[in-house]
Structure 1
């Protein structure tokens, strides 16, 4: 499996972030809808697996649910899609590198938030509510318990949990840039995403599916959801933007020289260096 050195991953992340920030609105909305739907399907799969497992298995149940959840980000990265939490990392490092503007960064975050929400709600309502995949037992009890756990955490706990989540999700996207083949990308994505789900960190887009699914079933309220959304959104910004994007910008982009990897075109690397200056 081919992979890139960390500094080259940083350069690829900058390039990806700049492309994302410059997408046409229609493309952004379509890919954002798909991204939200893919993450929701990963969470739906998690619920369908975990709900029927024996309680005696304890935390092994959590691991099995976490093990299937990454299918959402795998679909998004390989098939195509836009994810708010990933863009909090990629577009931020492009912005820090002066490859995009503040207005484009905020525009991207706004429209990807809206379209991710639309995709997540689509899956929650159509699959969860209309055909009952989250509203029949034992799946309903699992959905309600998971949503209640998120909502009862409180503002500061949800914010800090959001930091941990997008530190790991941002790294999953970051590592995917480091792989040249599909198998490598899947492995790069799977471990960090499995980790954040098993730990129980809060992901703003995953919550766009889970909590509305519980609301459609007659539990909780949109006011409850909005308070959670604000806390987790802020935490995810800090986790992806500060702990991944800015950390690696300082380490590899700010004052670093490009590295020459085996098989790289030296002229192209020198041209990238001149462009940055």
Structure 2
């Protein structure tokens, strides 16, 4: 399987950040909806495959859920989608490289957050609530229990969990950019994503599905959701923009960029 070096992945990521910053608003919203729905469908699959596990098999639910959930990120990255958590790594790296400005980063995050939420809510309401895929028997119990675990955490716990989640999710995006064939991309996405789900870290877009699904079923409130959204959003932002984006910028590109700027300066001086 052909694979790019980390230095090359930095370049690919920066170029993708610039590309995303130039998307028309309609394109960003459509792709954001797709990504939110894809992640929600992955979580719905997770609920449907683990809710009925009992006895000794119940202990495997985290692993099994983690094994099926990555379909959402695979669809997003390969079929096409704009996912907030991935953009929390891609856009800052383009900003560190001074290819885009801070306003473009914030604008992208804002509209992708909204469109991801609409996509996730669509799946939670129409498939989970109206069809009843999250509101019958063990599936309701699983949905409510999972949402409850996320809501009943302190601000700091949710924030740190968000960091751990997007440390892994953006590593999955990083590996996808590094692979040059579809098999490598799928495998690169699958392993880190499975890990974050099995560990139990919190993903802001995944929570846009599971917590509203429980709310539609008559459990919890939208204020409960907001109290979870804020720390998880912030944690995901730190996980992507600092632990992956900033780390690899300083490791592989900052020195190179400084040398290039110095050479450009010397060249201009000679020309003068």
Query: In structure 1, how many angstroms separate the alpha carbons of the residues matched to 2:89 and 2:64?
Result: 27
What is the aligned partner in structure 2 of residue 264 from structure 1?
A: none
Question: Displacement, 1:79?
Answer: 0.3
TM-score by length of 1: 0.92
Deviations 1:128-167 (A, max 9, x none): 0000000001100000000000001121100000000000
Q: Secondary structure at the match of 1:256?
A: helix
Q: 5+ residue gaps in structure 2? A: 268-272
Return 5+ residue gaps in structure 1 as ranges: 258-269
Q: Which residue in the other structure is 2:196 paired with?
A: 196
Rounded Cα–Cα distance in structure 1 between residues aligned with 2:22 and 2:93: 14
Secondary structure in 1 matching 2:201: coil
Q: Describe the superposition over 1:230-267 as per-residue Cα deviations: whole angstroms up to 9, x where unpaired.
A: 0100000000000000000101111137xxxxxxxxxx
2:134 paired residue number: 134
Residue aligning to 1:155 = 155
Question: Taking structure 2 as the reference length, what is the TM-score of the superposition?
Answer: 0.94
CA RMSD of aligned residues (A): 1.4
Find the aligned partners of 1:127 and 1:55 in 2 and give their Cα distance.
Answer: 28
What secondary structure sits across from 1:191 in the alignment? helix
> What is residue 270 of structure 2 aligned with on the other side?
none
The corresponding residue for 1:207 is 207
Structure 1 distance, partners of 2:55, 2:203, is 25
Return the alpha-carbon distance in structure 2 between the equivalents of residues 105 and 77 of structure 1.
19
**Residue of structure 2 equivalent to 1:51:** 51
Q: Deviations over 1:165-211 (max 9, x none)?
A: 00000100011000011111000000000000000000000000000
Cα distance, 1:58 vs structure 2: 3.8
Q: Where do residues 77-226 of structure 1 align in structure 2 (5 Å cutoff)?
A: 77-226=77-226
Bigger share in helix: 2
Aligned counterparts of 1:38 and 1:55: Cα–Cα separation in 2: 31
Match of 2:238 in 1: 238
Aligned residue-pair number = 261
Distance in 1 (CA, whole Å) between partners of 2:218 and 2:91 is 37
- Give the equivalent residue in structure 2 for 1:28: 28
